[in-house]
Every structure is written in C-alpha cells, then in structure tokens.
Structure 1
C-alpha cells in the first residue's frame, strides 16, 4: 500500500498530524514511512519555539558527519554516534544559533569542533528557512557560552550557502557581538527574506543591515527592536521594498521596570529625518505596531501618519497596570486613525496612566467613521467616551474596554452594555482603576 502514495503525499499527511508524538509513531511502521517522517522531524532540532530545549543527542548525531581526518582539540571528550542512516544535517530548516551553541558546549565541543559542525551544514547542502541569532528568553542557559558563541559567529562567512533560501531572519535584542560580517554574508547570498526582526546599536551594523535589506526582493514585514539612532540606516533602506506591508517598533524606552531581558539598552525611539521621510514613502504599509516605545510624541514622527492611509491594523501598547505611560503619543495615534478610518479593521490602544488623557476626539473618530472596524481595544476615562463606543456605527465583533477612572460607576457600564448588539461576539471590560487602588 505504501507504494500507492508518493513521498509528497506522505509529507502532506504527516505535516497534518497534530503532535510530534504522532509523527514519531510513524517511524515504527516501516522504512518507507520512516524515510518520509524523518526529514520533517529534523527540520528544527535546535528549535525557535520559546519553550523548546535542544536535546544533546542532536549534536551527537551531527558529530558523526565530521570526517575522521578532521582534527579537533585533543582535550575534547566527545560522544560520537556511528554513521547515521539518514542525512540529518540536510533536513535542517530552522536554526536558533544560541541554542545550537548551548547544545554543542553541553556535548563538550570546543570552538574548533563547533566550526566544523557549521561547515558540515554547508557540505550537506543545508538550506535554512528561518534563522535566529539570540533568544533572550533562553539567556539563562547561554551566559556561560557567550565567549564561544562570539568566537564562532564570524565563521558563518565560510558557509553562507545555507542562507540562500532564508525567508525569516531574527537578530533582535543586542547580544554584544560583532554582526556586520554576518549581515554582509547574508546579503550576498540571500534575496527572498520575507520577515526581518533586528536590533541596531552600532553604525557599521546599521550600514551592513541596510545593504542586506536593499538586497531583498520580497520583504513583507520589518520589526525594529530595542535600537538607537543607527537604526536610521536600515529604515532608509526600506524605501525600495514595494512588498513591505507591516512595520513594528518595540522596546525602545528608558523604564527599567519594564524590561527583564539579559542584553538591553535603554533609549527612546529616535530616527533621523531621512529615515522618517523614507518610511513615509512606504505607502503599501497596512499594519503598524508600537510596543513599549517612548519618544513617539515627537513631531518628527507625524509625517508617517499622513501617508499611511490604508491601514487595516494599528496597535499601540505600553506598560502594565502597575507601570504607567507618561508619553502617550495621542496626536500621532489620532492622525493615523483619522487617515485610515475607512480601512481599519483592528485597533489596539493599550496604555495605563493615572493622569486623565483627553481622547474623546479620538474615540469619536473611531465610533463614527471607522465603519469597517471589527476589533477594538481601548482605555476609557469618561462616561462620554463609553457612550460613544456604545453607539459606534461599525462592524465590531470583539470589544475590550479597560476603565482608568474610578469615577465611572460600574452599574452605568453594566447598564449601557446590558443589551450588547448580537454582532459583538466578544466583550471584555477590565477595571484597572480599581486594581491600582
């Protein structure tokens, strides 16, 4: 019966299985099933998922592919398996560099052996789809391996062919190591990255990253994370990306209570005029997200609100119910909503402040003009704002309100929403004013 299905059909079936456990059971059926399942199981042995910890056995399997003639440090005590049945390195599609280093050091691999492992990826014609350098959530396992990782990273320039099919590149949060050489290597060997997430803190890295962006032909999503003024270089390079439809700015602030990351630089969001003007020319952008960013209330950012006229999603969030937003960019947010009120389907405004902020005009624009809006999350300070939301003339399906004013009577809120329109399938009301007191 196996011969009635091609490997392509089996791949489609196996990828539809709900868990890896189900896929592992396919290995036990017969050799044909195993040959179809193994490539899928070994696509991401070092993981990119935040909850994933690499197994030491993965490195032991990869070590078996290093030629016997290759010399390594004589002090190493390596556990090397016998010759594998499958070409495991060639199946690798998702690669988290810090997790790879941690797994290798756990297996007593020296810098020289790790470099040989990287070369194996190139020799076995590995073609990565997703590449992540540093996962801040994994940092507690990575600190002791920092020096080895710093020494090995430049050697990616010797195996750049593995990046030729890359579609996702994540270099966010500023792990303190020189990355300009890596950026240039990827730029010279890859043309079809669709999503880039980066942090920029040095001029040479900013310039190299700008070259990487210019070399791409199909970039759709760009995220700037925890960066300083040198991020202006890659932002300027976005101007020629005609497929770009989503931009994110995240974690650019000076609030030390708002960050638990190992490598973090405290600064506000700052870009030069050339970068803002270049971003304003990216008129195909329809999704904008700001998360934990300070400095957006500067007039410098206003030009983007006048040219982003077809947004379908706008998100702004800052702080927690215990961390207040002191610099909410109301003017920028109002302008973005005003210019895209006919197209917006999703608006998330999630900040926390003890001070009253007048957003009545903003809410009135949303309620009366955002006719296609389906999802709204917004803070409320007055009953007038609440009444405007209740009378909204749009297609709301999901509504989340959080009350920041204790003077708003809870019974008034319940009375207004006692007869929620049937089209709203999700309604959430949070009383942060009462949580904080």
Structure 2
C-alpha cells in the first residue's frame, strides 16, 4: 500500500488512440509514472502513489465511476494470465480505454513484445489481416498468439467466417481467445468450438483489473467467496477503489476480520468444486405478480434460441403484473412468431411467470465503446412501454 500522503501525477493519455494509450501505460506500469487517466475528465492532478491507471466508465447502467488501479494489480493480473494460458504475442481488438484493452496492452508490455493493434471500427476483414500478420518465430518455434474479444465480436467473426476462409483461419490461429465483458451464450460457445476456435470465458471487472476467473476457475492468487448469495473476490488484482468516493469504496471493498479486502461484485453465484457459476446480477430482478424474476436468467434462456444470441432483456411496466420484461434483438422476422418461441423457451427454462411480454426486432442494437449493449439506452427507448 502507498504510504500516507504519497502521491503521483495523473495525466490523461494524449488521445484514445491505442498507441497513445500504450505509450502512457508503458510509463505508468513499467516506469515511474505518471499514472494514466482513461475514459474520463474532471479528475484531480494527483492520485495515491502506486496508482498506474484510473479508468472511468459509465458502464451499461449509466452510472459513472472512476476506478483507481495500482501498478502491482495490473502486473499481477498479467502474470496470472500468462501462467494460466501461456505467454506469447497479443492483438488488441477491443477499446484501449477499457480494462480489457488495458490488460491486453499490459500483458504485451510485461512480456516484452509489442502488441499488434487493430485500429478503427471493428470489422472481420481487418481483424483477419492483423491476426494472420502476427506470425513470428523465436528459436525456431512459432510464437503463440492471443487476443481478447466480447461475445458480439466473436459472433460477427463467426458469421463472416462462413463466407470468408481467411477469417476462419485467423480465428483458428490464436492459441486462446479470451471472451469477456458479458455472458457468453451457450449456443455461441458451442458454435466456436465446432469451428475449431479455442476460447476461454473470462469473468471479472474493472475493479478486479479485468478477467480474474477463467472458465469458472480463479487465477492463481485470486480467492472467491459466496456471501449471502453474492460473489466476492479477493487477491492481488483488486483495484484500490473509486477515486474521490471513499464511502463507495468502503462499501464495495470491505475488509474482513483478518484484514483481507474483498470486492463485492453484485453478482449472484455458486462456487462448488473449485468452479464458479455466475447466476446473474442481484439487482437485475423484477417482481412480477409478487414473484421475483431474474432478468439475467430470462436473457440466458432467450439467447439459447438460434438467431437470438445477441438478445437483450429489459424491464418494462406491466399494467396487470406490475413489472414485466421485453426482449430487444437485432433480427428480422415476425415479432409475434418470435415472441411465441421466446415465451415457450423461457417458460421451460425459468418458469411461466418469467415469460416476456414483448419482443422488439430492430436493425441494430445500440452498443457502448466496449462492445457491450447499451442497456440504459434500450431501457430509455423501450422500457416505459406498458403491456
């Protein structure tokens, strides 16, 4: 921990360009600073010593937060990832200003290899060209390659690979592809496996320096606990807290009787036989007709339907039951027929009371820069409709 009163300068990266972020992180993580501010303005000029990055994001809920992450936490996460999946060269294909992108760059820095960078809007063809251009050898052996994607990117690449063998070859070229940022639909995971794409599901957040649980198993040094049904995480990858918000930091990062800090994820889950199963957000629950319904479970059931893997479930007002849910998905077809399929699947997987009241088919879902669906925008647009 930094000594009381010790501070370090905090400076914003020159831009959101990945190469500017990489240069700033090189000084912040491997050098003497300054710390780098990503994704937000209005921050102080100085932060506690040991801070490497302050990542500000509103996330999918629209509530801003500035998470201060220490140099040691970022390095510990990078080394733990290498210990789990191996060392090699990394391709940056997610925004550099989000924690997933930051960790791709940090992993490259600590390995001593320059990352490949996919610039501009995400498209399958440039991704394939960048991935296939990474081929290199050391001591006569091929250097393994890795990247990190969100599920929407993986789906887009798999779609493109059906008509473009170069995209499929690029996907298969990676030793491992980390998939995080949101839940990975089972159908999409099975589709990747059938295509010969080696993926690893990751679980974590900015507060844990990115993914810290791989395929349900915590990385070395990371500890998990379930307290009152909530997943809690401890270990060397934890962030220091929320900059300028000590009350929120104390609430979300409590210390136990032994002085160990834990991060309260807000997710419900089960941890058995060394494997974590995340059930969904504890606060993403509606009360429909007096019954608690997890919208995360509803969404998982809907995403299991072929063609609806990118569906988002949002709460809506319901004149009869008080609260209900609507499914918004980028797809074509008949909304009435799609609704019937959705209601049948949800009734079987979750229960009749959880059946959505509406299906809305749109041309494209609004997304955040991280690639996650913009749930706040969807709720604002569709969540007030009565059913």
Check whether TM > 0.5.
Answer: no
- Which of 1 and 2 has higher RCO (CA within 8 Å, sep 6+)? 2
Q: Which has the higher strand share?
A: 2
Largest Rg, 1 or 2: 1
Q: Which has the higher helix share?
A: 1
